[in-house]
Amino acid sequence: MDAWSRGIFLKRKHLTFAVTKMVEEVNKLSEFVIEMKGITKTFPGTKALDKVDLSIKPGEIHALLGENGAGKSTLMNVLIGQYTMDEGEIFMDGQPVKIGSPKEAFAKNIVIVPQELNLIPEASIAENIFLGNERAKGTLINWKDAQREAAELLKLLDVEIDVMQPVKKLSAAYQQLVSIARALAYSPRVLILDEPTAVLTNKEAVTLFASMRRLKKAGTSMIFITHHLDEVMEQADRATIMRDGQLVKVTEIKDITKDEIITNMAGKKVQESKHVNRKVSDEVFFEAQNMTRPGEFSDVSFKVRKGEILCVAGLVGAGRTEIFKSVFGITRPEPGAKMFVEGKEVDIKEPGAALKLGMGYVSEERRHDGITPGMSVMENMMLPSYDQLKKNGLINFKEAAKITDEYIGRFRIKTAGREALIKNLSGGNQQKVIVARWMAKGIKMLIMDEPTRGIDVNAKAEIHALVRELADNGVAVVVISSEMEEVLALADRVMVVHQGKIKGYIEDVDMTTEEDVLKVAFQ
């Protein structure tokens, strides 16, 4: 740890992260800072956890691994008091504890950074970091101290930005870093990181890992949930692997390979998605000309062919998402832009117009834009298709149920049934419902923004197979992805975007490397 970092850690009480003599003595009382024993949790129709054990050592990075729906998030929600376990015990420093709410978890310095962002868009960065953990003198909040300390916490993550600006102005990557800074403000002894690098660039992820190593050296224990197994192999000390709500294996990372982790997660050997050479029609489905939105993208023109998988690559913040939000009518480009569908000029003023033209959209913000949490799996899947199922003004719900059940089976969606609320599904299974929604609708072009973010290797391969199936059936598919492996596995053609401009295309994807894509971006 360099002198500057050491000064930041020791400067204030809430930044020491368990470096004191007292914590050292407490750590000696038990081999584990946290022990969860025999944890069982049942939801209606589903046994989410079945006698699961988890033990975390002081100052270790412990990977919690498993496919979507394996029970990882449920186990963490039990640990932080969000869910009440049906059976089992939790120990902290060898002593039994009861954690009845996230507030009680905070009081014990157990803090989670959730996968889905839960910031207040209109509030400032500083306000978000100290929300519920305010720096107060008597009854008055000391905003000057809060702003200074917020800036210090962000510096630990190598981020220097104006902490008074509203969070809504930040990219998803910077919002994730603000969420991590908010967790650090609680001086965590146990820090739970749920897919922390999902929206980060490689450079931002490297900075986060450096911060994790500093925290580890200072005595903080981390539970690291990720589907990026390369990160696990490089950063974690030990791993607990789960499958179908049960404990499969606890191992030192040095004693296991990535392929063995995947096999333990899936219960079988999984073939990772490989590039497939496909023959694509020359017939253009969609064309954009001279699209500009100040501050987002400039003079963008491109074509998408029928049956083509066009992958859009570039760094986070390059303008990829913004371009296709305008294509789908979520935002409007400046006057002068033109769009054509099957050769006919169209005016897409809002998403409803895009839907009528046979276009679908899978948002990168699954929980915010993709699902309606209070509705069932069937309602979320069939909502855009109800018009097609009407007869004499009445929806044929029997047919809707039949189609839903077909896709639940075909996509291997883990759910108690079509009437289960979608909010009770894991993130990966929610994503499968969203993809099924557009397949059931019978769309002609599908825009997918980060379609496999937070999805395990097995589910990712399944989604990739479904994308190819769509394209094989003549659907034009646009995949926006920050994962270069995904881009190179899926693409028939790669469109490279940098700083709001299309920098070029890669046609011969089979012979392409990540470095080749970056060269195009920066040329």
**Whether the Cβ atoms of residue 523 and residue 499 lie closer than 8 Å to each other:** no
In this structure, what are the phi and psi dihedrals at residue 159, rounded to the nearest 5 degrees?
A: -120, 125
Q: What is the pLDDT of residue 392?
A: 83
Length of the chain: 523
The pTM score is 0.67
Q: Which residue has the higher pLDDT, 466 or 240?
A: 240
DSSP bridge pairs for 284: 305
For residue 191, the SS3 value is strand
Task: Give exposure, 46-72, as e/b (b: 16+ Cβ within 10 Å).
Answer: bebbbebebbbbbbbbbbbbbbbbbbb
- Helix-helix angle 3-11:143-156, to 10 degrees: 140
Condensed to tens digits (0 to 9), the pLDDT of residues 199-227 reads 777 777 888 898 889 889 889 999 999 88
Q: What is the DSSP letter of 139?
A: T
- How does residue 74 score in pLDDT terms, banded at 50, 70 and 90? very high
| Contacts of residue 268, Cβ cutoff 8 Å, sequence gap at least 6 | none
Lowest mean pLDDT among 137-151, 176-190, 273-287, 385-399: 137-151
Q: What is the DSSP string of 349-398?
A: -SHHHHHHTTEEEE-S-IIIII--TTSBHHHHHHGGGGGGGEETTEE-HH
**Whether the Cβ atoms of residue 129 and residue 150 lie closer than 8 Å to each other:** yes
User: How is residue 193 written in tokens?
Assistant: 């990181």
Q: What is the pLDDT of residue 367?
A: 66
Q: What is the DSSP string of 403-468?
A: HHHHHHHHTT---S-TTSBGGGS-HHHHHHHHHHHHHHHT-SEEEEESTTTT--HHHHHHHHHHHH
- How does residue 461 score in pLDDT terms, banded at 50, 70 and 90? confident
Does the structure show a pLDDT above 90 at 474?
yes
Condensed to tens digits (0 to 9), the pLDDT of residues 2-54 reads 444 444 444 444 444 444 444 455 445 568 999 999 999 998 777 899 999 99
Task: Measure the CA–CA gap between 442 and 437, rounded to whole angstroms.
Answer: 9
Q: How much is the mean pLDDT over the chain?
A: 86
Condensed to tens digits (0 to 9), the pLDDT of residues 150-207 reads 999 998 888 888 999 999 888 777 888 899 899 888 889 999 999 888 777 777 788 8
- Using only the alpha carbons of the chain, give its radius of gyration: 24
- How does residue 279 score in pLDDT terms, banded at 50, 70 and 90? confident
Does the structure show a pLDDT above 80 at 140?
no
Would you say the C-alpha torsion 455, 480, 318, 367 has a positive or negative sign? negative
Lowest mean pLDDT among 90-104, 127-141, 379-393, 503-517: 127-141
Task: Measure the CA–CA gap between 431 and 422, rounded to whole angstroms.
Answer: 10
* Residues 320-343, mean pLDDT to the nearest whole number: 94
Q: What is the pLDDT of residue 24?
A: 52
- Helix-helix angle 397-410:427-441, to 10 degrees: 130
Task: Measure the CA–CA gap between 20 and 167, rounded to whole angstroms.
Answer: 33
* Neighbour tally for 353: CB within 10 Å: 14
Task: Give exposure, 207-234, as e/b (b: 16+ Cβ within 10 Å).
Answer: bbbebbebbbebbbbbbbbbbbbebbbe
Task: Measure the CA–CA gap between 42 and 33, rounded to whole angstroms.
Answer: 26
Alpha helix (H) residue ranges in 12-162 = 21-28, 72-79, 102-107, 125-129, 143-156
Indicate the pairing of strand 87-92 with strand 34-43: antiparallel
* Residues 331-349, mean pLDDT to the nearest whole number: 95
